[in-house]
Structure 1
Amino acid sequence: MDLDGGNRRVFNRLGGSSAASPDSSKNQKVCYHWRAGKCSRFPCPFLHRELPHPSGPAAATANGSGAPKRFADDSGFSGPALRRGPNFNNNHNNSWGRMGANKVVRKTEKVCNYWVQGNCSYGDKCRFLHSWSLGECFTLLNHLDGHQKVVTGIALPAGMDKLYTGSKDETVRAWDTNTGQCMGVINLGGEVGCMISEGPWLFVGIPNVVKAWNTQTNQELSLSGPVGQVYTMVVGNDLLFAGTQDGTILAWKFNAVSNNFEPAASLKGHTLAVVSLVVGANRLYSGSMDHSIKAWSLETLQCLQTLTEHTSVVMSLLCWEQFLLSCSLDQTIKVWVATESGNLEVTYTHKEEHGLLNLRGMPDSESKPVLMCSCNDNSVRLYDLPSFSEKGKIFAKQEIRAIEVGPGGLFFTGDGTGFRVWKWAEAVPKP
C-alpha cells in the first residue's frame, strides 16, 4: 500500500502543501459533492473543507418544513379518502415503485451533533442537518418528553382532548392536546408492549394481561389469558385481538349486559411470538417472529393462508385498498395482492438499507396516500404510494417504535426521548 503517497494526496487536497503547482489556485474551491456528502473521487481536485473566506457564493441547500388530513379509519390505511387517491394505478403489476423518480434534494443525511448541543459554528453552511427532519411537506410542532425508556404506543381515544403514550418504562402518560402538558402518570408494573384506542376504550398490552380503560366512565378492566408480553392489538368484527409472546392470538368480545370483555377465541398456528396484527377485507392478518404472515377469516377465525416470503421477523402490517403491505427486519417492504383464487401473492418488493419496525399510512395535504416506515437506524422514511418516491425523512436519537395519526393533518412519532408532534404543510393552490 502506498501509505506515504496517499497521505501526500490527502494533504494536498486540504491545501497544506507549500510545493503546490502554479495553477493549483484554480482548485481552491470547496467540492460541491463533498458538501452534499457524496464525493467519491480520490484524489479529488477540490477542497474537502470550508474555506475561511470564500471567494464566491457558497452553494447551500435549504431544508424546508411544512405538515395530513386524518382519514376516516384510524385503525388502518384503508379509509375512504385513500380509496379515492388520484395517484393510484389499478394496473398494480406495473405501477409499484415506478411512478415518478423525484427525490428529495438533501444534505448529508445525519443530524449535526454540534447543532443538537447548540454550538455549531457553520450555520447554514454546515453539511449536516440542523433539523430533526428532511423534506418540505411537513414540520415539527412540538417535542414532549417525560418517559424514561422508548415509547411503544400512542393513542388518541375518540372525543377526547387527551393523548396517551405507553413506554417500556412501565408507565402510561396522559397529555393535554391543547397545552402539551402531562396530565397524569399510570404505573403498570410491566413494560408496555402496545397500545390502541377504540371508541372511548384505551387498551394497553403488558406481560400476561391487557389493561382496558373507559376514558369516559373511568372504568378499569383486566383481560386475562395472554402468556408473556402482549406485542400487538387490533379491533375487527366487534372483537379485540391480541398477539402474544407464546404465538397465540387471543380474542375478546364486549358484553353490554355484564359491561365486560369476555374471551371469544384463541387462534393458534404461529410457532413464535405474534408481533403485528391488522384487519382488512374481512380478514385478520398476523405477522410473527417465525417470519410468516397468516391470513384468518374474521367470520370463522380459521387460517386461510400462510405467507412465508419474508426471511426475518414480520414487524408491521398495513391494509390499503386491495393490498396488504408488510415490513420486516429483513430490510424489505412487500406489497401483496389477491389473485383470482383469493390467495395473496407479492406484487412488489421495496428494499431498504436497514431493518423495518413499523408502517403507518395517511393522506397528505393533497389527499394523496403516504407511507411512513420506521427503520432501526433511528429514522422514519416517508414515501408517496404507489410509486415509493421519497417525500422526506424524520430522525431521532433512538429507534422510533411508535407512529400514530391524528386529526387536522397531525401525526406523532415516539422514540426513547419522548414523542414528537408533526403537521403536514397546507397544499398550495395551483394557479
Structure 2
Amino acid sequence: MDFEADGRFGNKRVHNRLGPAPGAASSSSSTKVCIHWRAGRCNRFPCPFLHSELPEAATTKRPNQRDGPGGHVWRNPNSGGGGRGGGGFNKWGRGPGGADGGVRHKVPDRPCKFFLAGDCTYGEKCRYPHTYCMSNSITLLTPLQGHEKVVTGIALPTGSDKLYSGSKDGTVRLWDCQTGQCAGVLPVGGEVGCMISEGPWLFVGIPDAVKVWNMQTQAEMNLTGPTGQVYALAIGNELLFAATQDGRILAWRFSTVTNCFEPAASLTGHQLAVVSLIVGGMRLYSGSMDKTIRVWDLATLQCIQTLSDHTNVVMSLLCWDQFLLSCSLDQTIKVWAATESGNLEVTYTHKEENGALALTGMPDAQSKPVLVCSLNDNTVRLYDLPSFSDRGRIFSKQEIRAIQTGPGGLFFTGDGTGELKVWQWIIDASQT
C-alpha cells in the first residue's frame, strides 16, 4: 500500500544533551532526567536537566537477556527442565520488563485526554502530548472516516488494491489503498459481526447469515444456518467456520460442482455464544462467553480438549509458532503450549489492568515478533515477544475492536467511533 505519510503527531524536540562530561562536577539538576523531555515536549536549550535516561538504569540489563544466544526462544517449554506440566525452560514474560526483575521499559505517558476527545483548547501550548500513539516504533499514516458505528472487521485481500472494513452500521466500505478515499459502500442487511478474506473470497458475518462475495467474478452468496449474530469466522482444511450466538460452530465446504458453499458440519459443545475462532495446524480453537476454549481436530471435527483457565469471556485467540495465545475480559493474556501428552496447558499468564478485547501478531520493522492487544480502556498495547516488554501504546476515543495486519509493516485498527487508522512500523533507534 502506498498511503502518504503526514509525519508523526505531536511536536517532539529532542536536543543532544547527554549530561556533564566524565569527571565534571554535577549539580542536583544535572543528575535528573528532564520530565518535559520524557513527555516529548521540552523546548529549553540549553536545558539544565538530562535528555536521556540515567545510565545506571541501563547497566542493570543482563547481556542477551531478552533474545538469548540464539534469538527469541520459541521451543516447547515442556521439552525438559523446569516449568509447569512436565517442565521446560522458556522466556515468556522474561527479559526487559518481564517477570524476572529485568529492566522495565518506561511506560509511555498518556496523551491529552481533551485532544483525544477532539476538544482541547490549548493547541500547541498544551502541557500534554497531542498524539494518538506513544511509541518510537510506529507512526500513524492516515485516518479513514466514514463508518457511523463501531468497526468490527477489517480485511486486506492478498493482491487487492482495496481495504475492506465492516461495521455495526450495517455496511462494508471499500477504501482505495493509493488515495485513502472510500471507493464504495456495500449495505449488508445487518450489523457486521466479523469479516475475513481468503483468496478471491470475502466473508462477512451478520445476524443469521454469512455474506460471501467473490471479488474476481462479483458473485454473491448468502449462507444461512446461523442463529443470531455471527461473531467470528475462520478457514481451515478447506472448510469455512462460523461462530454463532447460540454457541454452535457451523462449517461449509466449497463445491466445485455447484460452485457454491454447502453445509458440512455443526460443532456443538459450548454453552454460550462463541466469539473467537483461529486455525493452527490441524486444529480449530474456539473461545466463548462460557469462559472456555475448545480445541477441535480438523480431520474429525471432534472436540479433543476443553481449556477452562480463563474466568471471563475469551475474546480473542492467536496461533504463533507452536503456541496458542488467548485474551479475556478477566484482564489476562495466556500463553498455552502442548505437553508431552499433546494437551495444552498455560505456560505464562500476563496480567492487564483492564479486559482484553483483540489480539494479533506481526513483525516490527526489524522483523522481531510483536504482540498487539487492544483493551477496554480505549488503548492498544504493543509487546515484544516472548518477553512481553512494553513497546508503546495506541490511544483512541473508544474501544478498538478490530485489528488487521498488512504487508510492508502496515496494520489497521478500527474503533467504536467508526474510524479506521492506518499504522506503519518504523525503525526504533533505541532497539538497534
Please give the TM-score of this superposition, normalised by the length of structure 2. Answer: 0.79
8 Å CA contact 2:138, 2:424 repeated in 1? yes
User: What is residue 90 of structure 1 aligned with on the other side?
Assistant: 75
User: What is residue 239 of structure 2 aligned with on the other side?
Assistant: 239
User: Aligned partners of 1:305 and 1:96: how far apart in 2?
Assistant: 23
User: Aligned partners of 1:57 and 1:210: how far apart in 2?
Assistant: 60
The alpha-carbon deviation at position 36 of structure 1 amounts to: 9.7
Instruction: Write the deviation string for residues 138-190 of structure 1: whole angstroms up to 9, x where unpaired.
Output: 10000011000010000012221001000011111011011011011111221
Q: C-alpha root-mean-square deviation of aligned residues, in Å?
A: 3.0
**Aligned-partner residue type, residue 120 of structure 1:** Y
The alpha-carbon deviation at position 104 of structure 1 amounts to: 4.3
Correspondence 1:399-414 to 2 at 5 A: 399-414=399-414
User: What is residue 248 of structure 1 aligned with on the other side?
Assistant: 248
8 Å CA contact 1:104, 1:392 repeated in 2? no
User: Aligned partners of 1:37 and 1:368: how far apart in 2?
Assistant: 25
- Structure 1 pair 60–196 and aligned structure 2 pair: CA distance change class (3 A): farther
The alpha-carbon deviation at position 428 of structure 1 amounts to: 6.5
- Structure 1 pair 120–271 and aligned structure 2 pair: CA distance change class (3 A): same
User: What is residue 341 of structure 2 aligned with on the other side?
Assistant: 341
- Structure 1 pair 54–384 and aligned structure 2 pair: CA distance change class (3 A): closer
The alpha-carbon deviation at position 426 of structure 1 amounts to: 3.9
User: What is residue 367 of structure 2 aligned with on the other side?
Assistant: 367
The alpha-carbon deviation at position 112 of structure 1 amounts to: 4.1
The alpha-carbon deviation at position 114 of structure 1 amounts to: 4.6
8 Å CA contact 2:155, 2:197 repeated in 1? yes
User: What is residue 113 of structure 1 aligned with on the other side?
Assistant: 114
8 Å CA contact 2:355, 2:375 repeated in 1? yes
- Structure 1 pair 224–114 and aligned structure 2 pair: CA distance change class (3 A): closer
Matched residues, number: 367
**Which runs of no fewer than 5 residues in structure 2 stay unpaired?**
1-27, 53-69, 78-88, 98-102
User: What is residue 191 of structure 1 aligned with on the other side?
Assistant: 191
User: What is residue 420 of structure 2 aligned with on the other side?
Assistant: 419
DSSP 3-state at the match of 1:113: helix
Instruction: Write the deviation string for residues 105-158 of structure 1: whole angstroms up to 9, x where unpaired.
Output: 4553243415743642564x72x3321001101100000110000100000122
8 Å CA contact 1:157, 1:215 repeated in 2? no
User: Aligned partners of 1:355 and 1:385: how far apart in 2?
Assistant: 20
Larger radius of gyration: 1
**Which runs of no fewer than 5 residues in structure 1 stay unpaired?**
1-26, 39-49, 63-84
User: What is residue 82 of structure 2 aligned with on the other side?
Assistant: none
8 Å CA contact 1:403, 1:412 repeated in 2? yes
8 Å CA contact 1:159, 1:200 repeated in 2? no
Instruction: Write the deviation string for residues 208-263 of structure 1: whole angstroms up to 9, x where unpaired.
Output: 00000001110000001000000000000000000000000000000112110000
Instruction: Write the deviation string for residues 31-59 of structure 1: whole angstroms up to 9, x where unpaired.
Output: 98986999xxxxxxxxxxx9xx9998376
**Aligned-partner residue type, residue 88 of structure 1:** V
8 Å CA contact 2:107, 2:392 repeated in 1? no
User: Aligned partners of 2:50 and 2:193: how far apart in 1?
Assistant: 43
**Aligned-partner residue type, residue 188 of structure 1:** V
User: What is residue 380 of structure 1 aligned with on the other side?
Assistant: 380
DSSP 3-state at the match of 2:400: coil
Correspondence 1:24-423 to 2 at 5 A: 57=47, 86-90=71-75, 92=77, 93-101=89-97, 102-105=103-106, 108-114=109-115, 116-117=118-119, 119-120=121-122, 123=125, 126=127, 128-417=128-417, 418-423=419-424
User: What is residue 11 of structure 2 aligned with on the other side?
Assistant: none
DSSP 3-state at the match of 1:414: strand
User: Aligned partners of 1:370 and 1:247: how far apart in 2?
Assistant: 31
User: Aligned partners of 1:168 and 1:61: how far apart in 2?
Assistant: 46
User: Aligned partners of 1:232 and 1:59: how far apart in 2?
Assistant: 52
Instruction: Write the deviation string for residues 349-382 of structure 1: whole angstroms up to 9, x where unpaired.
Output: 0000000000000111111110000100111100
* Identical aligned residues as a percent: 60
Instruction: Write the deviation string for residues 46-82 of structure 1: whole angstroms up to 9, x where unpaired.
Output: xxxx9xx9998376989xxxxxxxxxxxxxxxxxxxx
User: Aligned partners of 1:402 and 1:413: how far apart in 2?
Assistant: 6
The alpha-carbon deviation at position 327 of structure 1 amounts to: 0.3
